[in-house]
Structure 1
Amino acid sequence: LVLVGEDSISAEMVEAELAAMRPEDAPPLESDSLSQSVDQHIRRYFETLNGAMPPQGLHARVLREVEYPLIIATLEITRGNQVKAADILGINRNTLRKRIRELGIWSGRQA
């Protein structure tokens, strides 16, 4: 949670807060490489907009772009077993089935 007395939060403010939360000499988290990749991708996307604001719904689009390959890869390693995939993902099996339908993923098994 970042508390600031401004109307908007800049990237510099977030970076300063994150630096204060995790010392530089701490071992890197396993998720750092994914986080860094997402950060770089999003920054490149913003650069392509040349200062314009992105269309509404960016959060949902980013989540979908991450969730889709995550679910596909998990279903692949479980050979389509939705119960195992849901357990690995840490979500309810019915939630996984709903997301499979909503994302247009065919899991190899009938629901």
Structure 2
Amino acid sequence: MTHSNAAEQQDRQEGGLKRAVEGAVREFMETLDGEDTSDFYNLVLSEVEEPLLRVVLEYCSNNQSRAAELLGLNRGTLRKKLRQHNLL
């Protein structure tokens, strides 16, 4: 795959992820039915982080070093996050 093809593929993948997240956030906002919420930013991040970690671990066959590299985290940070989400 050439560099330009790889860049185009990454743009398509990121666009799809952005659309999926946007749709999920809009759907959640509709369930609020006009009620206020606080700390919505942290709520969304915590809801996204657990499945992200789980799927990446599956993709990496539970190899934490490989998963940490793929995520751009150091292994210690990954392990801390895995403990926070009871994924160890």
Q: Given the two structures, how large is their TM-score scaled by the length of structure 1? A: 0.63
Question: Percent same amino acid at aligned positions?
Answer: 37
Measured after TM superposition, the shift of residue 77 of structure 1 is 2.0
After superposition, residues 1-40 of structure 1 pair within 5 angstroms as 29=11, 30-40=13-23
In 1: Cα distance, 2:56 partner to 2:27 partner: 28
Q: Given the two structures, how large is their TM-score scaled by the length of structure 2? A: 0.78
Q: Please, what is the CA RMSD of the aligned residues?
A: 1.7
Which residue pairs with 1:72 in the alignment? Answer: 54
Unpaired stretches in structure 1, ≥5 consecutive residues = 1-26, 107-111
Which residue pairs with 2:25 in the alignment? Answer: 42
Amino acid at match of 1:37: A
Counterpart of 1:31 in 2: which secondary structure? helix
Deviations 1:45-86 (A, max 9, x none): 1122222212x2221221122111111111112221111110
Amino acid at match of 1:53: D
Higher relative helix content: 2
Which residue pairs with 2:68 in the alignment? Answer: 86
How many residues end up aligned between the 2 structures?
79
Unpaired stretches in structure 2, ≥5 consecutive residues = 1-7
In 1: Cα distance, 2:86 partner to 2:52 partner: 14
